């Protein structure tokens, strides 16, 4: 499930952008050191393939609903984790741009949720060890697809929760997301296994050529430094959070207090806003519009205090908005007529 711009706070968005870009940069470096030159067209074409394959829906047996391929696991199996991650990131980029699926700020979250866990956790830590002796291939594919998507879904819940835009309680959201993604993960695993098996049966040499030969091994230090660190952090905090959420209605607040030392979540975007605001106050050319009213609005950052909404302000706001929009219309049309008249 794609995270949307409107559900995340700028802090969460920027943070995951940084994480995902870091992942891409690291993978790119790894690829550059190891790959054959052939890899670039293969990666591009496989990206296009997954994209095309995602566009075809199929019916899920016994449920009557329809699904489509995600492709993360498939890409990791064929290309190895680094190239798989880079290709998945580019698929999500094209989706964000062309289908408005997700969003620009949420793209970092989406690359992380749908690319990272599959390529750097499920593939090297579950799939690879399980298929070592060419046994359990089906099981390996299934479990790693499920785990990859479960972690992704959990990550969506965390991002939503920490953004604080949605009022959906953490536990409710978790209970909504994880089971749905269990089903999606099983379907993904079955389909991925089916495709890989079909290809290896009808054209074994094709996959041998690309299968993990170029970038199959994940560097141990990378796992140690980033993956395991992050995994442990997520699982422990996440596990504690959800355990308390389920066993004790107030547990969530309690554990946040433990983690952050105060009952509210840190709201980074507000500090950012504050900095911008103080800069603004210093350079403002309209001293009349100080942030007195804005400050009262922002003071609500804590959960208890709500902003005071003054109907008079709202009315003038509606009026002003109307004027601004009409002005844009006018400017647009004027510019357009000027352009048309100009001989070109």
Stretch that binds other proteins, among 13-21, 115-123, 222-230, 238-246 (CB under 8 A): 13-21
**How many of the chain's residues bind other proteins (CB under 8 A)?**
122
Segment holding 67, helix H or strand E: strand 66-67
- Residue of the chain from 33, 37, 132, 287 that contacts other proteins (CB under 8 A): 37
Please tell me whether residue 258 binds other proteins under the rule CB under 8 A.
no
Please tell me whether residue 243 binds other proteins under the rule CB under 8 A.
no
Please tell me whether residue 249 binds other proteins under the rule CB under 8 A.
no
Q: Which two tokens stand for residue 171?
A: 């536990």
**Would you say 67 or 251 has its CB closer to other proteins?**
67
CB of 257 to other proteins, least distance (A): 21
- Residue of the chain from 248, 271, 278, 314 that contacts other proteins (CB under 8 A): 314
Please tell me whether residue 7 binds other proteins under the rule CB under 8 A.
yes
What is the C-alpha to C-alpha distance for residues 106 and 160, in angstroms, rounded to an integer? Answer: 11
**Would you say 132 or 282 has its CB closer to other proteins?**
282
* Integer CA distances (angstroms), 58 to 62, 70, 71, 295, in order: 12, 12, 14, 52
Burial class of residue 344 (count of CB atoms within 10 Å of its CB; 0-12, 13-18, 19+): exposed
Please tell me whether residue 93 binds other proteins under the rule CB under 8 A.
yes
- Residue of the chain from 58, 243, 254, 260 that contacts other proteins (CB under 8 A): 58
End-to-end CA distance of the chain: 47
Please tell me whether residue 111 binds other proteins under the rule CB under 8 A.
no
| DSSP SS3 for 35 | coil
Beta carbons of 223 and 126 less than 8 angstroms apart: no
Please tell me whether residue 318 binds other proteins under the rule CB under 8 A.
yes
Footprint on residues 280-299 left by other proteins (CB under 8 A): 280, 284, 286, 288-289, 294, 297-298
Stretch that binds other proteins, among 137-145, 217-225, 244-252, 323-331 (CB under 8 A): 323-331
Q: What are the helix and strand counts (H, E) for the chain?
A: 15, 2
Footprint on residues 153-182 left by other proteins (CB under 8 A): 160, 164-169, 172
Please tell me whether residue 259 binds other proteins under the rule CB under 8 A.
no
All residues at 6 or more sequence positions from 223 whose CB lies less than 8 Å from its CB, including other chains: 120, 124, 125
Please tell me whether residue 55 binds other proteins under the rule CB under 8 A.
yes
- Residue of the chain from 175, 199, 226, 265 that contacts other proteins (CB under 8 A): 199
Count of beta carbons in the 10 Å neighbourhood of residue 111: 27
DSSP string, 225-279: IIIIHHHHHHHHHHHHHHHHHHH-TTHHHHHHHHHHSSSSPP-HHHHHHHHHHHH
């Amino acid at each position: 499930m794609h995270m949307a711009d409107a559900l995340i706070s700028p802090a969460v968005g920027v943070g995951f952008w940084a994480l995902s870009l870091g992942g891409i940069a690291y993978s790119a470096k790894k690829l550059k050191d190891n790959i054959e030159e052939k890899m670039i067209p293969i990666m591009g074409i496989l990206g296009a393939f997954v994209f095309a394959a995602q566009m075809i829906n199929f019916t899920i047996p016994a449920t009557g609903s329809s699904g489509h391929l995600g492709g993360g696991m498939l890409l990791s199996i064929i290309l190895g984790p680094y190239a798989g991650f880079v290709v998945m990131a580019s698929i999500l980029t094209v989706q964000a741009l062309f289908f408005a699926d997700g969003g620009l700020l949420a793209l970092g979250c989406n690359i992380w949720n749908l690319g990272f866990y599959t390529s750097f956790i499920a593939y090297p830590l579950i799939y690879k060890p399980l298929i070592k002796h060419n046994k359990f291939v089906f099981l390996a594919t299934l479990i790693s697809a499920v785990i990859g998507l479960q972690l992704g879904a959990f990550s969506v819940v965390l991002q939503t929760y920490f953004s604080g835009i949605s009022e959906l309680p953490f536990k409710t959201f978790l209970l909504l997301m994880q089971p749905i993604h269990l089903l999606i993960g099983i379907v993904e695993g079955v389909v991925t296994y089916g495709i890989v098996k079909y290809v290896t049966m009808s054209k074994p040499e094709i996959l041998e050529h690309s299968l993990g030969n170029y970038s199959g091994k994940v560097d141990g230090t990378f796992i140690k430094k980033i993956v395991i660190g992050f995994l442990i952090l997520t699982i422990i905090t996440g596990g504690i959070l959800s355990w308390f959420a389920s066993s004790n209605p107030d547990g969530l607040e309690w554990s946040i207090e433990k983690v952050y030392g105060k009952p509210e979540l840190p709201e980074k975007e507000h500090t950012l806003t504050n900095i911008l605001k103080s800069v603004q106050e210093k350079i403002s050319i309209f001293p009349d519009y100080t942030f007195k009213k804005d400050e009262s609005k922002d003071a609500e950052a804590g959960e208890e205090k709500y902003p005071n909404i003054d109907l008079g302000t709202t009315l003038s706001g509606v009026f002003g908005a109307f004027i601004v929009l009409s002005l844009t219309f006018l400017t647009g049309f004027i510019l357009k007529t000027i352009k048309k008249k100009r001989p070109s």
